[in-house]
Amino acid sequence: MKFNLSDFGKHKSFAPLSLTRPIGLLRIGIFTNDERYAIFLPKAEIGFVTETYLEEKFPNLKSDLTVNACVIPNPDFIAAIVNIEENTSLFLGTVLLAKKGNGKSEVSFLGDVPMILNDRWDLFLLNHIVLKSDFRLITENRSSQFLPDSNLLLGPESDLFIEKGAIVEGSILNTKDGPIYIGKNAEIMEGSMIRGGLALCESSTIKMGAKIYGATTIGPHCKVGGEVNNVVFQEYSNKGHDGFLRQLCNWSLVQPWVLTANTSNLKNNYSNVKTYSYIEEKEIQIELKFIGLSMGDYSKCAINTMFNTASVVGVACNIFTDGFPNKHISSFSWINGNKIAAYDLLKAYNDANNMMNRRDQSLSDADKKILAHLSNSPS
């Protein structure tokens, strides 16, 4: 089976997170959507329909089946796309879920309704629900590794799963409010206090004395310390020092190769927040009171940098200031106190490579082309 996950015109709704990748590669719960489909359909080939400047790195497979990348698949949805007929569109109400061929024949989806993402803040608002679903998906008919006696477990043991090679010592883990998944070769250092739901993905580390509240996702190869509440770290990101991080609505969304610090998640007057929209290119009012920071790839800030509620930072920014930076910081911005300058593209390449080399990674030519495109049209 071969199909494409399509952004279906929602690319900017998830920016800055989607500026460097298709929506189908955004992590929520334990997995990205392409990883979920690989579990449900292990023999499938998966491509992407996304923005033109992303196509070299994330190619289109030229399949006649296109699936909405905003849909979190469940077994009924998998069955529906596997059995979809030629030239048929599959709808849930007015939402197009999938299309095969010209899609002229319209049918309604009648199974167990899947989760559908609409905006970037859905990644943390729905994280608790999706994490529970992913936990069942990845742990079904499997046995967890043993939890060492140096730890204290509160809540059902069945809601704790430890993959092979993971290390957990001298910590308190609470599964009463949600499951805790500890990925292969991940580590929870001593003195940490963890309240589920939590997904600590492969080769990631929670540092000594950390306080992690649910529902939090820490993607592969991340290092996280301090206090974290309902945050989604995608991969290869660091919050190594003390300080409070809540991204988007009590909560935050952090992209790969990011270094971050402290965020506010609630206005002093407790009113609904405004946040930057990449569609309208201005701040918009949204129906949320709690929302923290959204930060794009390759951005970083100094220790103890303070971000206002609902701040949005683009791709490849460097922020070091003793005050609050602007709530929206365009991609390729160099913030030094009150001074704002453009982040030189070649310097951004070099700095990104220096950061990535520490994890035995480097920028590909396709990565450089994506960054070059964004540097020419910063937003």
* pLDDT of 364 higher than 70: yes
* pLDDT of 120 higher than 80: yes
Q: What is the pLDDT of residue 246?
A: 40
Q: How far apart are CA 206 and CA 150, in angstroms?
A: 16
* pLDDT of 356 higher than 90: no
Residues 161 and 221 in one domain: yes
pLDDT in tens, 2-28: 999 999 999 999 999 999 999 999 999
Q: What is the pLDDT of residue 214?
A: 84
Q: How far apart are CA 279 and CA 379, in angstroms?
A: 10
Lowest mean pLDDT among 85-94, 99-108, 109-118, 263-272: 263-272
Residues 147 and 284 in one domain: yes
Q: What is the pLDDT of residue 247?
A: 37
Q: How far apart are CA 131 and CA 28, in angstroms?
A: 7
- Round the average pLDDT of the chain to a whole number and report it: 90
Q: What is the pLDDT of residue 93?
A: 96
Task: Give Cβ neighbours of residue 190 (< 8 Å, ≥ 6 apart).
Answer: 150, 169, 170, 171, 208
Residues 45 and 91 in one domain: yes
Instruction: Give the residue-averaged pLDDT of 180-185.
Output: 98
Lowest mean pLDDT among 128-142, 154-168, 190-204, 212-226: 212-226
* pLDDT of 331 higher than 60: yes
Show the domain range for 294.
Answer: 123-376
Residues belonging to the chain: 379
Give the closest residue to 234 by CA, choosing from 247, 251, 221. Answer: 221
Residues 107 and 134 in one domain: no
Domain boundary (49, 84, 118) is at 118
Domain boundary (98, 118, 138) is at 118
Contact 189, 200 (CB under 8 A): no
More confident: 290 or 299: 299
Residues 98 and 150 in one domain: no
Q: How confident is the model at residue 204 (pLDDT cuts 50, 70, 90)?
A: very high
Residues 70 and 180 in one domain: no
Q: How confident is the model at residue 352 (pLDDT cuts 50, 70, 90)?
A: confident
Q: How far apart are CA 39 and CA 30, in angstroms?
A: 12
Residues 214 and 296 in one domain: yes
* pLDDT of 265 higher than 70: no
Q: How confident is the model at residue 48 (pLDDT cuts 50, 70, 90)?
A: very high
Residues 153 and 78 in one domain: no
Domain boundary (103, 118, 133) is at 118
* pLDDT of 238 higher than 80: no
Q: How confident is the model at residue 57 (pLDDT cuts 50, 70, 90)?
A: very high
- The pLDDT > 90 percentage for the chain reads 70
Q: How many domains does the chain have?
A: 2
Residues 239 and 350 in one domain: yes
Residues 98 and 205 in one domain: no
Secondary structure string (H, E, C) spanning 189-246? CCCCEEECCEEECCCCEECCCCEEECCEEECCCCEECCEEECEEECCCCEECCCCEEE
Give the closest residue to 125 by CA, choosing from 8, 251, 239. Answer: 251
| Edge-to-edge strands, sheet with 205-206 | 167-168, 187-188, 205-206, 223-224, 238-239
Q: How confident is the model at residue 39 (pLDDT cuts 50, 70, 90)?
A: very high
Lowest mean pLDDT among 56-60, 68-72, 189-193, 228-232: 228-232
Residues 110 and 153 in one domain: no
Q: How confident is the model at residue 264 (pLDDT cuts 50, 70, 90)?
A: low
Q: What is the pLDDT of residue 21?
A: 95
Q: How far apart are CA 135 and CA 147, in angstroms?
A: 17
Q: What is the pLDDT of residue 236?
A: 85
Q: What is the pLDDT of residue 96?
A: 98
Q: What are phi and psi of 166, to 5 degrees?
A: -75, 150
Q: What is the pLDDT of residue 237?
A: 80
* pLDDT of 233 higher than 50: yes
More confident: 58 or 359: 58
Contact 30, 131 (CB under 8 A): yes
CA-based end-to-end distance of the chain: 37
* CATH number for position 156: 2.160.10.10
* pLDDT of 262 higher than 80: no
Residues 31 and 85 in one domain: yes
